[in-house]
Amino acid sequence: MRRIMAAAAVAALVLGAGCSKDSGGAGASSSPTPSASPTLDVAANTKQVCDEVKQLNTDSAKKVGDAIAKATAAAMKGDEAGAKKAVDEANDITKDWVAKLRAAAAKAANPELAKALNDIADQVEKLLGEDATVDQMNKTVQEAGTTLNKYCA
């Protein structure tokens, strides 16, 4: 159940850390190029990645929240099998979330954003561990929200 609570804490983090604009647009090409140019527009890429991550985080947080609600309801009814199934579902959603954060990091043209997304994925993944604590969750939520807001706020 501790894993579920960790996932819920991370869900709260990402719902509050939206991605809407680029803070690293200086990496775009300085010479004019035709629209078919292979030159990557870092500002546009950052916006796209941030928008995708924002949607990912919103969707993942909702799914984890729903799984937590199922686990809680099952536990309240004494349905251990149902509670375990819901906990496993929340863990699977969280693992998928981590994988998608890493995929978004791989797409990011801004290396600082890519590193930030990988760092957040690492933090989320650590919360799945048996030794995750409430203090660790709170720290992860604060640090990840602050980090993400640097690039996507």
Q: Is 27 a domain residue? A: no
Residue 13 — φ and ψ, nearest 5°?
-60, -50
What pLDDT is stored for residue 152 in this prediction? 82
* Cβ partners under 8 Å of residue 89, min gap 6: 67, 70
What range defines the domain where residue 79 resides? Answer: 2-17+43-152
Residue 131 — φ and ψ, nearest 5°?
-95, 10
Q: pLDDT tens digits for 66-94?
A: 888 898 899 999 999 999 999 899 889 88
What pLDDT is stored for residue 28 in this prediction? 41
Q: pLDDT tens digits for 25-37?
A: 434 444 444 444 4
Q: Is 117 a domain residue? A: yes
Q: Is 118 a domain residue? A: yes
What pLDDT is stored for residue 79 in this prediction? 96
The rounded distance, in Å, linking the Cα atoms of 7 and 44 is 30
The rounded distance, in Å, linking the Cα atoms of 31 and 146 is 34
Task: Say if CB 84 and CB 1 are below 8 A apart.
Answer: no
Task: Count how many domains the chain has.
Answer: 1
What pLDDT is stored for residue 106 in this prediction? 97
Q: Is 38 a domain residue? A: no
